[in-house]
């Protein structure tokens, strides 16, 4: 798929997505134009317009592309126990996948923040971001439910636990790039680990 | 201060700040221009330029104005016990001040998100946002330390607790406006309350 060189529309679309990513990282959302995307790309603005009628269409496709890559990167090893899986998921969400992914984690967080800031004005962005949120939320809920069934976790509302983890991770990543502080992500990881081990885990399951 | 009508520069600057806020809420950061600010304002673009050389200067002043208002609004009653103070602070940060503040909470969160998304590209925004983060962090740390001294809270790293609360609150507010989900903020408040009561509070202090 998409390995036939220049003329292949899949290759071209992939190249446009990469160019959009680079243009967004370089110029920021406020200064992102079709021209600035074409400048990151060995083809003309006309080629971009052939595939995407408007900048809006292009950005909707771009967000889908980012979120697909994100969902591929957060798969966890189903054979691990719930505590290990939950902690691995938190670490991957906070710091990126263990094997270096397709994107630099800092740049990706910055690019996602730019798109998020448009979401209050853009129903299609909200729809895509909501779908992504619900996918990750469902992963956390499944792990918490399994841990509760096994008696490892105490009897909690899985959705409340998922909300706490996802909001803390989202907030930490945004502070990381907006304050320039990697230590906020490190401290969040430590705090969430403490919450999982000292609060979420059933007291009887401690020290086993 | 600033009650002398039209010619008073303090009044004019205050009016420019309000116009900037309205223009930002209406058009978003990407479409914010000096003209769109002037349109929200009963004076000309020239008046804005008289006070602020560039849009960048204006936005730096605007962020300072927002953060000053924010810091005035989050004062907590020092006479309350640490648990009550911590929960009141979390609620104010999540939902806005108990008495309706100068700004609509949803609009303010959206406006702040737009400015945050520029911070990776803007050192002055990062400096101001960092100062604001440290102010709120210091408030949480002071409450946690007092609670630990009183034996109400267990022996924890106050900075780690502050990081967890601030990241979860920031993430929740951003999800609130980018996914259009108020329930995320409600659930975050419930989760943080559970964390404070069931994890942060010393087990011996429970049920007293």
Query: Does the distance separating the beta carbons of B119 and A178 come in below 8 Å?
Result: yes
Q: What is the pTM of this model?
A: 0.89
For A43-79, write each residue's pLDDT tens digit.
888 999 999 999 889 999 999 998 988 888 887 778 8
Give yes or no: residues A46 and A83 share one domain.
no
The total of structural domains in chain B comes to 2
Query: Does the distance separating the beta carbons of B163 and A187 come in below 8 Å?
Result: yes
Q: Is B40 helix (H, G, I), strand (E, B) or coil?
A: coil
Q: What is the pLDDT of residue A7?
A: 59
Residue of A nearest to B29 (CA): A30
Q: How many residues does chain A have?
A: 208
Q: Which residues of B touch A153 (CB under 8 A)?
A: none
Mutate to test the interface with A, among B109, B120, B200 (most CBs of A within 10 A): B120
Distance from CA of A105 to the nearest CA of B (A): 14
Mutate to test the interface with A, among B30, B162, B171 (most CBs of A within 10 A): B171
For Cα atoms B148, B151, B155, give the angle at the middle one, nearest 5 degrees.
45
Give yes or no: residues A174 and A98 share one domain.
yes
Rounded Cα distance, B54 and B51, in Å: 9
For A21-44, write each residue's pLDDT tens digit.
988 888 877 788 889 999 998 888
Kindly state whether residue A197 falls inside one of the protein's structural domains.
yes
The range of the structural domain enclosing residue A93 comes to 76-205
How large is the average pLDDT for residues A158-164? 96
Kindly state whether residue B96 falls inside one of the protein's structural domains.
yes
Share of residues in chain B with pLDDT > 90 (%): 57
Q: Which residues of B touch A107 (CB under 8 A)?
A: none
Residue of B nearest to A32 (CA): B30
Kindly state whether residue B58 falls inside one of the protein's structural domains.
no
Kindly state whether residue B33 falls inside one of the protein's structural domains.
yes
Give yes or no: residues A43 and A131 share one domain.
no
Q: What is the pLDDT of residue B205?
A: 54
Q: What is the pLDDT of residue A43?
A: 80
Residue A183 has pLDDT above 90, yes or no: yes
Give yes or no: residues B30 and B93 share one domain.
no
For A137-146, write each residue's pLDDT tens digit.
999 999 999 9
Q: What is the pLDDT of residue A71?
A: 86
Among residues B52, B80, B95, which one ends one of the domains?
A: B52
- CATH number of the CATH domain containing A36: 1.10.10
Q: What is the pLDDT of residue B100?
A: 67
- Which long-range contacts (C-beta less than 8 Å, at least 24 apart) are formed by B146-151? B146/B82, B147/B82, B147/B83, B147/B86, B147/B200, B150/B82, B151/B202, B151/B204, B151/B205
How far is residue A124 from each of residues A59, A115, A198, B25, measured CA to CA in Å?
10, 11, 40, 19
Which is nearest to A172 in space by CA: A68, A69, A91, A100? Answer: A91
Rounded Cα distance, A133 and A139, in Å: 10
Which is nearest to A166 in space by CA: A149, A197, A144? Answer: A144
Rounded Cα distance, A177 and A107, in Å: 9
Nearest to B133 among A167, A179, A194 (CB): A179
Q: Which residues of B touch A167 (CB under 8 A)?
A: 167-172, 175, 184, 188
Q: Is B153 helix (H, G, I), strand (E, B) or coil?
A: strand
Residue A152 has pLDDT above 80, yes or no: yes
Give yes or no: residues B86 and B36 share one domain.
no
Q: What is the pLDDT of residue B208?
A: 42
Give yes or no: residues B81 and B179 share one domain.
yes
Distance from CA of B27 to the nearest CA of A (A): 9
Rounded Cα distance, A185 and A109, in Å: 12
Which pLDDT tens digits describe chain B residue by residue (208 residues)?
A: 334 445 577 788 899 999 999 888 888 777 888 899 999 988 888 999 999 999 889 999 999 998 988 888 887 778 889 999 999 999 999 998 877 667 788 888 988 998 999 898 889 999 999 999 999 999 999 999 999 999 999 999 999 999 999 999 999 999 999 999 989 999 999 999 999 999 999 876 544 4
Nearest to B187 among A113, A160, A168 (CB): A160
Distance from CA of A150 to the nearest CA of B (A): 21
Give yes or no: residues B117 and B174 share one domain.
yes
CB B110 within 8 A of CB B25: yes
- HEC-encoded secondary structure of chain A: CCCCCCCCHHHHHHHHHHHHHHHHHHHCHHHCCHHHHHCCCCCCHHHHHHHCCCHHHHHHHHHHHHHHHHHHHCCCCCCCCHHHHHHHHHHHHHHCCCCCCCCCHHHHHHHHHHHHHHHHHCHHHHHHHHHHHHHHHHHHHHHHHHHHHCCCECCCCHHHHHHHHHHHHHHHHHHHHHHHCHHHHHHHHHHHHHHHHHHHECHHHCCC
Q: What is the pLDDT of residue B207?
A: 44
Nearest to B164 among A118, A181, A191 (CB): A191
CB B185 within 8 A of CB B173: yes
Contact residues for B74 (Cβ-Cβ < 8 A; gap 6+): B89, B92, B93, B97, B136, B139
Nearest to A160 among B118, B164, B190 (CB): B190
In sequence order, what DSSP letters do the residues of B63-117 get, joined into one string?
Answer: HHHHHHHHHHHT---TTS-HHHHHHHHHHHHHH--SS--SS-HHHHHHHHHHHHH
Query: Does the distance separating the beta carbons of B179 and A175 come in below 8 Å?
Result: no
Nearest to B114 among A117, A169, A194 (CB): A117
For A90-109, write each residue's pLDDT tens digit.
999 999 887 766 778 888 89
Residue A97, phi then psi, degrees to nearest 5? -65, 150
Kindly state whether residue B31 falls inside one of the protein's structural domains.
yes
Give yes or no: residues B46 and B107 share one domain.
no
Kindly state whether residue A64 falls inside one of the protein's structural domains.
no
Kindly state whether residue B59 falls inside one of the protein's structural domains.
no
The interface residues of chain A toward chain B in range 152-171, judged by CB-CB distance below 8 A, are 156-157, 159-161, 163-164, 166-171
Give yes or no: residues B104 and B201 share one domain.
yes
Rounded Cα distance, A43 and A61, in Å: 19
Query: Does the distance separating the beta carbons of B179 and A126 come in below 8 Å?
Result: yes
Q: CB distance from A114 to chain B under 8 Å?
A: yes
Give yes or no: residues A83 and A158 share one domain.
yes
- Residue B21's Cβ-count burial label (10 Å; 0-12, 13-18, 19+) is buried
Give yes or no: residues A43 and A82 share one domain.
no
- CATH number of the CATH domain containing A81: 1.10.357.10
Give yes or no: residues A40 and A87 share one domain.
no
Kindly state whether residue A167 falls inside one of the protein's structural domains.
yes
Q: Which residues of A touch B153 (CB under 8 A)?
A: none
């Amino acid at each position: 798929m998409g390995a036939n060189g220049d003329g292949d529309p899949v290759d071209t679309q992939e190249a446009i997505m990469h160019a959009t990513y680079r243009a967004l990282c370089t110029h920021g959302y406020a200064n992102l134009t079709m021209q600035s995307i074409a400048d990151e790309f060995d083809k003309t603005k006309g080629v971009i317009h052939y595939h995407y009628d408007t900048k809006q269409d292009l950005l909707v496709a771009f967000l889908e592309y980012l979120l697909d890559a994100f969902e591929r990167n957060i798969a966890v090893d189903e054979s691990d126990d719930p505590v290990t899986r939950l902690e691995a998921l938190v670490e991957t969400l906070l710091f990126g996948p263990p094997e270096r992914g397709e994107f630099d984690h800092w740049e990706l967080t910055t690019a996602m923040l730019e798109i998020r800031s448009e979401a209050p004005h853009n129903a299609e962005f909200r729809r895509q971001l909501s779908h992504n949120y619900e996918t990750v939320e469902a992963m956390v809920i499944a792990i918490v439910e399994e841990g509760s069934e096994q008696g490892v976790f105490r009897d909690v509302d899985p959705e409340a636990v998922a909300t706490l983890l996802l909001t803390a991770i989202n907030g930490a990543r945004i502070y990381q790039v907006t304050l320039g502080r990697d230590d906020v992500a490190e401290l969040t990881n430590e705090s969430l680990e403490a919450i999982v081990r000292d609060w979420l885990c059933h007291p009887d399951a401690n020290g086993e």
